[in-house]
Amino acid sequence: MFKSVRSRLIASYLLVVLLAMGIATPLVWSALDRAFLDVLRENLLAQAQRVAQTVEAAGVDPLAADFQFAPYAQAANVLPGYHARVIDAEGVVILGPPLTDVPTTTTSLWLDSPAYDELVSNLGISPSRARGEPVPTADLPSRAEIQHALNGVPSTEVRSYTGSPNRRILYAAYPVRSPGGNVISVVYIASPLPRLTLSLLPDYLGPQILGGAALALLLSGLVGLALARQITRPLRQLTAAASRLAQGQPVPPIPLPSTTELHSLGTAFNRMNAHLTTAHQALSAQAAQREAILNSLSDAVLAADVTGQIILANPAASELLDTLPQPLQDVIQHTLATGEPHTAELAARGQIIQVLTAPLRDEQDHISGVVAVGHDVTAYRQLDRLRTDFVSDVSHELRTPLTAIKGFIETLQDGAADDSAVRDRFLNTIALETERLIRLTSDLLLLTRADAGQLTLRLVPTDLTAVVQRAASSLEGRRQENRLSLTIHAPDQLPPVHADADRIHQVLVNLLDNAVRATPAGGRVAITLDHTSAHVSCTIADTGFGIPPDEIPHLFERFYRGDPSRARTAGYQSPGPPSQGAGLGLSIAKAIVEAHGGRLWAENEPDGGAAFTFTLPCLPNSDHNLPPI
């Protein structure tokens, strides 16, 4: 109860009203009592004045022995219950008329009441003497109202009953003057106040005060309820907005209340809401950016807590977890145990994954987890192997002619030079091996430049049909020697290509040489030219033994030999006799075609044999002016 602001506000309003009424009621009651007492004073003093004026108007001496008081009191309309007496200038109390002159009911009530005895006692008269015997003024000492009246000043006074301070008597004294204007006596009237004021106020004013208090409480409660709702409405709005904000929901700016304190609170809340919204948007953007970066990484990135439980993983890491769950956990646990970075290579499904782990530390430098990055190094390891093989192949290719040259030279130095036939044969062999070395180094230099993007090409509009015919003519002798048929299929209108004719001729010679050597006697070699709107294609197909499927992906690798039991050819293993090629021909052909912006690939023909196809970009229609080949 009274925990809400609204109930406390209503209770405070009611408490203020009750306190105000508690303070105001006695004050009002006292003011009413004084006002009513003033009215009674005036009325009682008026009664005494009428008696005095009646006596003065009659011209009688109230001190005479035959003075009758009752007729004058009745003529002055003294109310029943008022006790009126006359006191002479010597202070002697002259009682009023016989009690039988007063109405019976009033007389009996008055004589039999304790108030009468109290009244006469307060007048300084014993009850027995108060029925007609004179009383000297010495029995009324210090009666200020009587002394004032004897001095010619009407006066009133209120006194309490003896032993009953809450019961009061009102006294009024009015001077009676002689025709000469001198005060000869005093009319002294007394009236008990309880029956006039203290009994009248509760009976008459009490219900009105209580009714007004109840109405005031009801109205104050209703007003307090309305004000409390008005005051707490902004607080309820703030509470609801804060709850939505705590749940991460967007919150629009709340209306600002009119009160200064709540207006400041609303302004502060809106400012905080704006800052939190901006910070939330920034954090969301950063989180989205981090997630996008992690998801776009080809490397696996993951994080684990101190128990080794994975708490973050990008898609690449998820695949790695599916492939290598236990080995990866072993690497993570090793880092958690040692607290040091660790590197390991894990192999699975033909891949080599290099995993680097590092501990995560909190502000107290305690290990709080592990971050791991996995990188597929399969290509690097293959490159290392190829590099090793390349060095080995180059060393082998260089050592063979160099060994032959060295042997022939040593033989000549040992005396074979004296035989002219032997000398000429050895020198001819040395020249051939030297040419082979020059050709090998030239091929390696060409591949190096192609890899660096520095291969020099003289690109001009070129008629590919003419280049094909020239390359076919250069192998005419070997074709006839092997009894092979060679056909060229070309459309009448073949678009020109933007190419270096000499380099493309080199490619064609290499591919045709492979086809001639791979085709058995009596076979066929066909060259087919075609084009689309974007490029021109050239396919060289033979009817040889084809290419083993597992070797097709490796045909264009440098120094690739395939089955070691087969003789090496210029990048292609034929079933024929061994060849003296270095295994760089197809690598060079592919490098030249790709330098022109084309493609080169190999495939087996459905009816047997192999087909090598390359494409070159076409020239725009406006560039069809061809130079001679």
Structure-token pair, residue 274: 């704006």
End-to-end CA distance of the chain: 107
Of 310, 311, 312, 314, nearest to 293 by C-alpha is 314
Residues 6 or more apart whose Cβ sits within 8 Å of residue 552 = 602, 603, 604
The answer on pLDDT for 110 being more than 60 is no
Of 328, 332, 377, nearest to 354 by C-alpha is 377
pLDDT for 443 equals 77
For residues 515-534, give the mean pLDDT: 91
Output the CA torsion 193→194→199→202 (10° steps): 80
CB count within 10 Å of CB 129 equals 15
Q: pLDDT tens digit string along 168-208?
A: 788 889 998 888 888 888 888 888 775 444 445 555 556 76
Q: pLDDT tens digit string along 464-517?
A: 999 999 999 988 888 888 889 999 999 988 999 999 999 999 999 999 998 998
The answer on pLDDT for 84 being more than 60 is yes
DSSP β-bridge partners for residue 571:
none
The CA radius of gyration of the chain, in Å to the nearest whole number, is 68
The answer on pLDDT for 325 being more than 80 is no
Higher pLDDT, 418 or 357: 357
pLDDT for 573 equals 38
Amino acid 207 reads P
pLDDT for 563 equals 54
> Which residue has tokens 């009651």?
29
pLDDT band at 324 (very low <50, low <70, confident <90, very high): low
Higher pLDDT, 81 or 596: 596
CB count within 10 Å of CB 559 equals 19
Picking from 4-18, 212-226, 277-291, 400-414, which range would have the lowest pLDDT averaged per residue?
A: 4-18
Higher pLDDT, 458 or 115: 458
For residues 418-439, give the mean pLDDT: 81
pLDDT band at 63 (very low <50, low <70, confident <90, very high): low
The answer on pLDDT for 125 being more than 60 is no
Question: In angstroms, what CA-CA distances link 221 with 214, 218, 228, 501, 593?
Answer: 10, 5, 10, 106, 97
Phi-psi region of 588 (alpha: psi -120 to 50; beta: other; left: phi over 0): alpha
pLDDT for 124 equals 44
C-alpha 281/C-alpha 278 separation (Å) is 5
575, 436 contact by CB (below 8 A): no
Amino acid 458 reads R
pLDDT for 419 equals 75
* Residue 139 CA from chain centroid, whole number: 97
Higher pLDDT, 63 or 41: 41
pLDDT for 115 equals 44
pLDDT for 3 equals 59
